[in-house]
Amino acid sequence: MELKKSLAFTPHLEDELRESLKRCSPETVEAALSFRQHGNFDGIPVIVMGIIERFLEPDVRHLLREGNDDTRLFEDLGVDSLLMVEIIILVEETLDISIANDELRDIRSVGDIKIYLDYKVKGIPIPKQNKQLTVEEIASVMPHQDPFLFIRESKISLNEAESLYSITGDEFFIDGHFKNNPVFPASILIEALGQLAVLYLIRNEKPEFEQPIDTSKVMFASCDGVRCHRVCRPGDVLKLKVKLKRIRYPLVTFEGTITVGDEKAVFAEDITLTFDYES
């Protein structure tokens, strides 16, 4: 995709960019120059990270470098509303774009702002973020139904989905001798993550999916790199999360995690589904 620039790239513009970014890393400056001169979108994450780091207090910069896309701008990095305005002003100047305040209301993490800017500079419509779905809405679209539906109220954002499930002990598979030692089977935990991946797939608004997904053609393909860290029992509240890793029609792959409180229960490196579009 060719970048549309309002200004031709000139030595004067290069000097202006270098001056604006003089407190950023050399990598940030070079990525910005490459973006403005050649339309190199690959450098956008470097630009975003470099500009954010430039405004952070020195004692928290390591949290940005050592963290990941889940690192929270406000809670983890201490970015307040005034600092956010300064970051956005420099981003606008560097990328030659205009950002409206209402477009920022759902941006909470480093990953959110990377994705937002990637869509913005490419002129791709930005999907709605943080859609909250009730149990009734989930049941109305999912091919899975009770008693074999293990996701409840859920939230879908640009690149991931989250849900909760409370283990009651009344599940149909906890019977017989398991009543004396009730355990939520690891295979069902993986099933729950797979169901959340299905929900993301059929309710997301990413433009990479060309048209609505046919729910009758979504199938589980594989699950690799599974590690279980704790036993889950009645009374535990499972927090499920799947994060989109890659899309290559007809396959879509997620990373999945389940936590109970502060403890990791299950991690799945690759959950892969096959899908097709409505005809």
More confident residue, 70 or 259: 259
Determine what percent of the chain is predicted with pLDDT higher than 70.
94
Q: Are strands 160-166 and 154-156 parallel, antiparallel or unpaired?
A: antiparallel
Give me 166's structure tokens: 């409370």
CA–CA separation, 249 and 244 (whole Å): 14
Domains of the chain with bracketed CATH: 11-122 (1.10.1200.10), 131-274 (3.10.129.10)
Q: Which residues contact 263 (CB under 8 A, 6 or more apart)?
A: 229, 230
Q: At what angle do helices 81-95 and 110-122 cross, to 10 degrees?
A: 30
pLDDT above 60 (res 1): no
pLDDT of residue 175: 63
Q: How confident is the model at residue 13 (pLDDT cuts 50, 70, 90)?
A: confident
User: Could you tell me which of 102, 53, 99 has the C-alpha nearest to residue 78?
Assistant: 53
Q: Which residues contact 75 (CB under 8 A, 6 or more apart)?
A: none
Tell me the pLDDT tens digit for each residue of 70-94. 898 999 999 998 999 999 999 999 9
**Amino acid type, 265:** A
Beta carbons of 254 and 231 less than 8 angstroms apart = no
pLDDT of residue 8: 65
Query: 237 to each of 161, 163, 184, 248, 271, how far by Cα in Å?
Result: 17, 10, 11, 33, 22
Query: 261 to each of 107, 171, 264, how far by Cα in Å?
Result: 24, 21, 8
**Amino acid type, 108:** R
Q: Which residues are catalytic?
A: 177
pLDDT of residue 128: 64
pLDDT above 80 (res 177): no
Tell me the pLDDT tens digit for each residue of 210-258. 788 998 899 999 999 999 999 999 999 999 999 999 999 999 999 999 9
pLDDT of residue 277: 92
pTM of the model: 0.69
CA–CA separation, 29 and 53 (whole Å): 13
CA 120 to chain centre: 16
DSSP-assigned letters across all residues of 81-116? HHHHHHHHHHHHHHHT----GGGGTT--BHHHHHHH
